[in-house]
Chain A
Amino acid sequence: MIKLNKKAGEKIFSLWWFFSIVLVSVAVITMTLNFFNAPIDTRNIEVSKLHEKIARCVIDKGYLRENINSEIDLLEFCSLNPNAINEDSEYLINVKIYNENQELFKSWQYGRIDYKQDCEISINLEASNYLLCINNSESILFYNTQTNQKEHWALEILVATNNLGSKGKTKIEEETKDEN
């Protein structure tokens, strides 16, 4: 009886040992892969930088820049790359300027248009993998040269990004591969 118990005990012990080793190994490997393969999320910094860049480019000391009046390309005016901000990219820029009578004076829209709707959803949503948006409306001054008076205008900037980067090849490398 004692002999039987001992053998049975050893068998159970080795089985349990094998089982726990496999369990621990799987847990360690899964956690390590999940931790080190998780994307480094810099979208919150990026979206605020984009917002700041546009705001600084449109406003000068609280006033709307004079040359904004003309039919300008905002991307070019603000030194933003049109090849990086397009319909296939991970950015959205929507800028609107309203005059004193709340009428739309000028608006620009670049990048992923579908992000506009996603931004509206994201206001009521708490999801870490969802895109990040800044929708800011502020009062700006406009110097009317015809009446020589300051006017209170409004500037609305909506920027969004879902740029996490990717593993693979650059656009240039892909183009050269296609050509070959």
Chain B
Amino acid sequence: MRKINKRGDLILPPVIFIVLNLMIFSILMLFVYKASTGAILYEEAYAKRIGLLLDSAESGMQFSLDITPLTEVTLKNNKNLKKENLIEHLEKNIQIDDESGEILIRLGTSGGFIYPFFSKLETETKVIGEEENKYLLNIKIK
């Protein structure tokens, strides 16, 4: 019995050390992954992309923007959201306000990112679910 205890004493500390190390580095990696696929990054990137598109747009133009990554982040951040309500939810949370010249993208439950654009335009936006997992944002300039 004593021998077993001694062996245990020898083996246990390095095992605990390795397990703890693995745990800590896994948590760190998970944090980095979560931060890289977070809503803030996508909200800002897409708001600015749409803003710059609108700033160089002229009446009569029509754009189709692939917003599939946004749908994935939206589903991840809104646990209660069902896939059949996704288009409606996206149309409500991707807003182009022609009057004030602002774009709002909200992928989480609150907040969102606002990006002003300087062009005076009349826009019409629509989210289209193309294939099973592909979504497009159609912007029509009147």
A residues whose Cβ falls under 8 Å from a Cβ of B: 17, 21, 24-25, 28-29, 32-33, 36-37, 39-40, 42, 45-46, 49-50, 53, 75-76, 79-85, 89-91, 163, 165-173
Q: Which residues of B contact A39 (CB under 8 A)?
A: 44
A165 near B47 with CB under 8 A, answer yes
In angstroms, Cα B51 to Cα A50, docked, is: 12
B29-69: contact bitstring with A at CB < 8 Å (1 yes, 0 no)?
00110011010110011011001100110000000000000
Q: Which of B79-87, B94-102, B131-139 contacts the other chain?
A: B94-102
A170 near B104 with CB under 8 A, answer yes
Instruction: Kindly provide the distance from the CB of A172 to the nearest chain B CB, expressed in whole angstroms.
Output: 6
Instruction: Kindly provide the distance from the CB of A68 to the nearest chain B CB, expressed in whole angstroms.
Output: 18
Q: Which of B40, B44, B95, B118 contacts A80 (CB 8 A)?
A: B118
Contact A83-B55, Cβ < 8 Å, known A90-B116, A165-B48, A167-B113: no
B52 near A42 with CB under 8 A, answer yes
In angstroms, Cα B40 to Cα A36, docked, is: 8
Main secondary structure of the interface of B (DSSP, over half): mixed
In angstroms, Cα B101 to Cα A172, docked, is: 11
Q: Which residues of B contact A24 (CB under 8 A)?
A: 28
Q: Which residues of B contact A76 (CB under 8 A)?
A: 120
B11-28: contact bitstring with A at CB < 8 Å (1 yes, 0 no)?
000000100010010001
In angstroms, Cα B102 to Cα A91, docked, is: 14
Q: Which residues of A contact B121 (CB under 8 A)?
A: 79, 81
Between A and B, 5 residue pairs with Cβ closer than 8 Å are A28-B28, A79-B121, A80-B120, A81-B98, A167-B112
Nearest residue (CB) in B for A17 is: B17
